[in-house]
Amino acid sequence: MAESWATFGVDLHVDVARPGVGPRRGLTDALREAVRGGRLAPGTRLPSSRSLAADLGIARNTVADAYADLVAEGWLTARQGSGTRVAERAVPVPASAARPARSLRGPAYDLVPGTPDLASFPRAAWLKASRRALAAAPDDALGYGDPRGRVELRTALAGYLARARGVRADPEHILICSGFVHGLMLLGAVLRQRGARTLAVESYGLDVHWDLIDRAGLASAPLPFDERGTRTDELPSTGAGQGGAVGAVLLTPAHQFPMGVPLQPDRRAAVVDWARRTGGLILEDDYDGEFRYDRQPVGALQGLDPDRVVYFGTASKSLAPGLRLGWLALPPDLAPEVIAAKGGADWSCGVLDQLTLAEFLTSGAYDRHVRASRLRYRRRRDQLVSALAARAPSVTATGIAAGFHAVLRLPPCTEQSVVRAAAWHGLAVHGLTSYRHPAATPAPLDALVVGYGTPSDRGWPRALEALCGALP
């Protein structure tokens, strides 16, 4: 506290109170020092001389003179209509701030699954919904809110999920979260509180989910997998729910990630039977349920038993991950614990995006976007299948009836070399090996997991070309 701070308005703290120096000189020196030291960044607009003078209790001309001095010295610029600003390049910007966000250039083409085509995000429609939603919002929507999220969005989702996914849920038992990972964090904490020790998972999935389960203090135990999907009939042998502890299983029933098969009816029945018999819980990750291309749509498992299934949905695949919006439909008797787990820790989702998504859903804009996206991805899928048939006949695409990724089966022992060849072609693509649970029992398969939704429409043909060039 060696400095003696004085001020001209609470927006700017500079040392102007120097003994033996008049206000003009004091202000000029203080501003120069603030610019030189980087505390006033290049481009910053200064207050008008009128308001600064009022804040300081000095004459307006004194401020105007101080500004003029600094313009003359090159520290500030003054232009008609844009006010007085700190000159660009007046000071050296700290090295790290000047660096671009990514210092390494990414790959030229990206077919890593999990991200939709961001170039097709419906910006204009979203803004329109945003304007309408903000105009309609009551003032108290902007305050600290219900940990479940805004009632407008929960109500819109209850209607949408019922009609589009066969989910049966009351808005009271829907909870808005910032995406699947946030939802899984909450469920992990609640399961641990209920005494669970193991969460059964699928043989193929995402390591970030397994890590999260691990950090929640639970073991992840993979269920066997065959060509008909995950062997839910093997649940009793995983240890989930044994020894009196509550059991739980995490599944992607509509479109196994990444293998792409739907869970077969008998295996759906088996997992629901298990949950009813043991008091267990099913966590249903319905990440891309909107995108299905054949005539055998797969409704959500949740509809079979809303008391035993926690349904996880997300806007990350249907709209954009950057929205950070997901939702849970909770069994009524579990809802209070999950809401408490969220409410106790944070209220993480901005209300403006929640209100906008509610408007987007009820106005029909969401359906329109999903339909347009479905056509886009279906077209790309068809192009992928044709290209493979023509240029890489030894490679077969599976799991292609839905979503926006495919599994390309490769000849034995070629996965690693194909991923390396792709990298040489400037193409980012993942091998299936990285999606296999370390304790999984099925024999490893050589395959690529190709996210054909990731590129823009413009980038897609070249990404496909690069892929074909890397395949055997």
Binders in 228-287 for a second copy, by CB under 8 A: 265-266, 268-269
Per the CB < 8 A criterion, the answer to whether 316 and 323 are in contact is yes
The site string for a second copy over 119-138 (x = CB under 8 A, - otherwise) reads: x-x-x--xx--xx--xx---
Instruction: Give the integer Cα–Cα distance in Å for 66 and 71.
Output: 9
Instruction: State yes or no: residue 80 binds a second copy (CB under 8 A).
Output: no
Instruction: State yes or no: residue 34 binds a second copy (CB under 8 A).
Output: yes
Instruction: State yes or no: residue 60 binds a second copy (CB under 8 A).
Output: no
Identity at 183, one-letter amino acid code: G
Instruction: Give the integer Cα–Cα distance in Å for 170 and 285.
Output: 19
Instruction: State yes or no: residue 371 binds a second copy (CB under 8 A).
Output: yes
Instruction: State yes or no: residue 107 binds a second copy (CB under 8 A).
Output: no
Per the CB < 8 A criterion, the answer to whether 223 and 249 are in contact is yes
Which of 278, 348, 396, 398 forms a contact with a second copy (CB under 8 A)? 348
Identity at 291, one-letter amino acid code: F
Which of 18, 416, 456, 472 forms a contact with a second copy (CB under 8 A)? 456
Q: What is the nearest approach in angstroms of a second copy to the Cβ of residue 81?
A: 13
110's tokens: 């990206």
DSSP H or E segment with residue 177: strand 174-177
For 387, the 3-state DSSP assignment is helix
Per the CB < 8 A criterion, the answer to whether 377 and 453 are in contact is yes
Instruction: State yes or no: residue 43 binds a second copy (CB under 8 A).
Output: yes
Instruction: State yes or no: residue 215 binds a second copy (CB under 8 A).
Output: yes
Q: What is the nearest approach in angstroms of a second copy to the Cβ of residue 182?
A: 5
Which of 227, 243, 244, 295 forms a contact with a second copy (CB under 8 A)? 295
Instruction: State yes or no: residue 339 binds a second copy (CB under 8 A).
Output: no
Choices 341-349, 420-428, 435-443, 461-469; region in contact with a second copy by CB under 8 A: 341-349
Instruction: Give the integer Cα–Cα distance in Å for 421 and 104.
Output: 20
Per the CB < 8 A criterion, the answer to whether 192 and 360 are in contact is no
Which of 150, 122, 146 has its CA nearest to residue 134?
Answer: 150
Q: Which is nearer to a second copy, 441 or 456 (CB)?
A: 456
Measure the CA dihedral 373/376/379/381, to 10°: -60
Q: Which is nearer to a second copy, 154 or 197 (CB)?
A: 154
Which of 207, 233, 337, 367 forms a contact with a second copy (CB under 8 A)? 367
Q: Which is nearer to a second copy, 241 or 455 (CB)?
A: 455
Instruction: State yes or no: residue 77 binds a second copy (CB under 8 A).
Output: no
Instruction: Give the integer Cα–Cα distance in Å for 366 and 375.
Output: 14
Instruction: State yes or no: residue 429 binds a second copy (CB under 8 A).
Output: no
DSSP 433-450: GGGB-TT--SPP--EEEE
Binders in 386-415 for a second copy, by CB under 8 A: none
The alpha carbon of residue 64 and the mean position of all alpha carbons in its chain are separated, in whole angstroms, by 48
* Residues binding a second copy: number (CB under 8 A): 101
Instruction: State yes or no: residue 87 binds a second copy (CB under 8 A).
Output: no
Q: Which is nearer to a second copy, 57 or 243 (CB)?
A: 57
Instruction: State yes or no: residue 145 binds a second copy (CB under 8 A).
Output: yes
Instruction: State yes or no: residue 352 binds a second copy (CB under 8 A).
Output: yes
Report which DSSP code applies to 310.
Answer: E
The site string for a second copy over 146-185 (x = CB under 8 A, - otherwise) reads: x----x---x--xx--xxxxx-x-xxx-----xx-xx--x
Instruction: Give the integer Cα–Cα distance in Å for 189 and 173.
Output: 18
Instruction: Give the integer Cα–Cα distance in Å for 418 and 458.
Output: 24
